[in-house]
Amino acid sequence: MIDRLNMTAIPTDANPFELFQDWLSLAEEKEPNDPNAMALATVDTHGVPSVRMVLLKGHGEDGFVFYTNLGSQKAQELTAHPHAALLFHWKSLRRQVRITGTVEPVTDAEADAYYASRARDSRIGAWASKQSQPLDGMFELEARVAKFAAKFAIGDIPRPDFWSGFRVKPQRIEFWHDRPYRLHERVVYIQSSGGQNGGGWEKERLYP
């Protein structure tokens, strides 16, 4: 059996999306918590960066998807400046993936489908939270949860119009693997000319 942890981590002829899926699948086996957690970096109107952890909820050659309240800081910043950076760090595997690219909203159909898949309490929580706005105390939040739980009772809970998702369309993907004596392995894929709807990926190794 191949030891997937100790073998050469980054193949020389890999498709970046297939390689990402392979690494994510291994993380799902080995990481103790949230293998789909990723740091999301955005900038405000003054170019000041902000970073926070979000959860990857879909991925493929069309991009990497997450969901949020559209009134949140990250959503407002992405709407104003549709570029972002992502970082996956799987500490137990000593691996990370860095992604930069443009950002676009997901379709209403995508957002509806994912929202419908969430636990009922999470759907109520989406209605109750005024994400990123000041909160006087936890009692205020709990009262809003109770309010919307009563409003929807046992009926359907529609997706709020202020809750949806974004897709980061990668232009650069870097795979990093820890190796002894800090001789880490780094391979970067950069989208070649032709744009995200054409052309392929150019690959090069980087010094650690």
The one catalytic residue in 118, 120, 182, 205 is 182
* Domain count along the chain: 1
Query: Which stretches of the chain are DSSP H helices?
Result: 16-30, 73-80, 108-117, 120-128, 138-152
| pTM, 2 dp | 0.91
Give the span between the Cα atoms of 97 and 201, in whole angstroms: 16
> Which pair of structure tokens corresponds to residue 45?
């109107």
Within-domain flag for 53: yes
Within-domain flag for 67: yes
Q: What is the pLDDT of residues 82-125, one digit of tens each?
A: 999 999 999 999 999 999 999 999 999 999 999 999 999 999 99
| pLDDT at residue 83, as a whole number | 98
Contact call for residues 26 and 2 (beta carbons, < 8 A): no
> Which pair of structure tokens corresponds to residue 27?
């993380």
Within-domain flag for 47: yes
Within-domain flag for 147: no
Q: What is the CATH number of the domain that holds 22?
A: 2.30.110.10
Within-domain flag for 43: yes
182 carries an active-site annotation: yes
Q: What is the pLDDT of residues 32-83, one digit of tens each?
A: 999 999 999 999 999 999 999 999 999 999 999 999 999 999 999 999 999 9
Residues 123-132: what's their mean pLDDT? 95
Within-domain flag for 100: yes
